[in-house]
Amino acid sequence: MNKKHKRINVIQPFLPDLKEFIPYLEKIWDSKWLTNNGQFHQQLEKELAEFLGVKHICLFANGTFGLIIALKALEITGEVITTPYSFVATSHSIVWNKATPVFCDIDENNLNIDPEKIEELITNKTTAIMPVHIYGHPCDNERIQTIADRHNLKVIYDAAHAFNVKQNDHSILNWGDLSVLSFHATKVFNTFEGGAIVCHDKDMKRKIDDLKNFGFHSETEVATVGINAKMNEVQAAMGLLQLKYVEDNISKRKKITEYYRKYLKNVEGIKYFSYIPNVTANYSYFPIFVDKNKYGKTRDELYEILKKNNIFPRRYFYPLISQFSSYQNFDSTSKYNLPIANKIAEQVLCLPIYPELDIENVKLISEIIKLKK
């Protein structure tokens, strides 16, 4: 294969023309209001809530702060059942709240937490379930909520991948007690860094807003022990500009996804997700799964082949969170009972996908996968 093409990363952040951003910066410079619930912050919360079809949005400096504060706002303690197949921020947020992550195996059909295996992990210490909408694929929200209601548990969704994902024409962000979004540079919608909590009533929004701003309830009252997790005005301005392009960018991602499916359709040993009925996707990732017995090479061998061709996919998610050394003192029993998660972690490879990825490069990547060299 020709190695002279430009480096192709798994993701390339979308940035509008710099000239479009300058007027926002000029307003910030004129107002001298850089942070702490400024004009753009307030405007972005309003426009995002309308765009996403949710009641309330609380903006954060990053998604990890959102996860930490979501757990804190719901006063979660004890044990939290979650997935090992995710980015470490999911479980880190649990540990930062001095709770214990309990890892549940995943459903092989959608790679989300398997509702069938949740209840066997519930103990008298369990206070919450933290599922993740992996790759933006909706969890089995109804089943999870039924289990939570039966055992009086809170549900916090890590929705980092799920910006603007809908099921039966309704936002999946309205499920659970809280949902947490990421606006990291790698995401479908970015504010450089950033994130948000979706909540359902004004009282919870006020509580979250207090927690992310040191606990200030007013100028003279600190109502709780909070932290500084606020989104600044530059981030919020970028978000407002990104909103103008996000639907077009999702359409471009959809087109790339369709081409990958077309080019890889008959490659033995390579699997990928098909369309999910009644789901409006955001095409945030394009993972493939390598069956070494049928494909003839392991996932890691294909990973190295692509890198030699100046293409840099990522093994999202490998290793499992439960396999990291920092988690060996947590949930020591269930990490040995994760057969599906372990299998998928050894097979997954997320291919490059971003709005400006040329279709010829999609074809090139697919040809390398076919030729295995």
Within 13 Å, how many C-alpha atoms sit on residue 296's CB side? 7
Dihedral sign computed on CA atoms, order 266, 271, 273, 277? positive
Mean pLDDT score, 305-332: 91
Asked if pLDDT for residue 195 goes beyond 60, the answer is yes
Asked if pLDDT for residue 43 goes beyond 60, the answer is yes
**Helix residue spans in the chain (DSSP H):** 18-31, 39-52, 63-73, 89-96, 141-151, 202-211, 233-243, 246-263, 292-295, 299-308, 339-347, 359-371
**Residue 27 vs residues 41, 113, 258, 300, 306: alpha-carbon distances, Å:** 13, 45, 41, 49, 45
**Reported confidence tier of residue 184, pLDDT bands at 50, 70, 90:** very high
> What residue spans define the domains of the chain?
18-243, 246-371
Burial 12-33 (b: 16+ CB within 10 A, else e): eebbeeeeebeebeeebeeeee
Three-point CA angle 175, 92, 121, nearest 5°: 65
Cα-atom radius of gyration of the chain, to the nearest Å? 21
**Reported confidence tier of residue 256, pLDDT bands at 50, 70, 90:** very high
Mean pLDDT score, 109-130: 97
Does the fold of domain 246-371 match that of domain 18-243?
A: no
Mean pLDDT score, 328-342: 76
CATH topology of domain 18-243: Aspartate Aminotransferase; domain 2 (3.40.640)
How far is it, in rounded angstroms, from Cα 51 to Cα 37? Answer: 20
Q: What is the pLDDT of residue 272?
A: 98
Q: What is the pLDDT of residue 328?
A: 86
Q: What is the pLDDT of residue 3?
A: 52
Q: What is the pLDDT of residue 5?
A: 82
**Reported confidence tier of residue 218, pLDDT bands at 50, 70, 90:** confident
Are the CB atoms for 90 and 180 separated by under 8 Å?
no
User: What is the pairing mode between strands 170-171 and 178-182?
Assistant: unpaired
* DSSP tag of 135: G
Mean pLDDT score, 206-235: 95
Least confident of 91-100, 126-135, 167-176, 323-332: 323-332
**Reported confidence tier of residue 127, pLDDT bands at 50, 70, 90:** very high
User: What is the pairing mode between strands 8-9 and 311-312?
Assistant: parallel
Q: What is the pLDDT of residue 122?
A: 96
CATH topology of domain 246-371: Aspartate Aminotransferase, domain 1 (3.90.1150)
Asked if pLDDT for residue 341 goes beyond 70, the answer is yes
Q: Starting at the edge strand that comes first in sequence, how are the strands of the sheet with 279-280 ordered? A: 170-171, 166-167, 279-280
Q: What is the pLDDT of residue 234?
A: 98
Mean pLDDT score, 45-72: 98
Q: What is the dihedral of CA 216, 219, 223, 228, to 10 degrees?
A: 10
**Reported confidence tier of residue 217, pLDDT bands at 50, 70, 90:** confident
Mean pLDDT score, 268-284: 97
How far is it, in rounded angstroms, from Cα 56 to Cα 205? Answer: 7
One-letter amino acid at 180 equals V
Are the CB atoms for 167 and 278 separated by under 8 Å?
yes
Q: What is the pLDDT of residue 349?
A: 98
- Give me 366's structure tokens: 């697919």
**Reported confidence tier of residue 337, pLDDT bands at 50, 70, 90:** confident
Mean pLDDT of the chain, nearest integer: 96
Asked if pLDDT for residue 334 goes beyond 70, the answer is no
Can you tell me which residue has the tokens 């359409």?
A: 251
**Reported confidence tier of residue 336, pLDDT bands at 50, 70, 90:** low
Q: What is the pLDDT of residue 329?
A: 81
How far is it, in rounded angstroms, from Cα 35 to Cα 41? Answer: 8
3-state secondary structure 110-122: CCCECHHHCHHHC
**Reported confidence tier of residue 146, pLDDT bands at 50, 70, 90:** very high
Q: What is the pLDDT of residue 316?
A: 97
Asked if pLDDT for residue 224 goes beyond 80, the answer is yes
How far is it, in rounded angstroms, from Cα 88 to Cα 173? Answer: 21
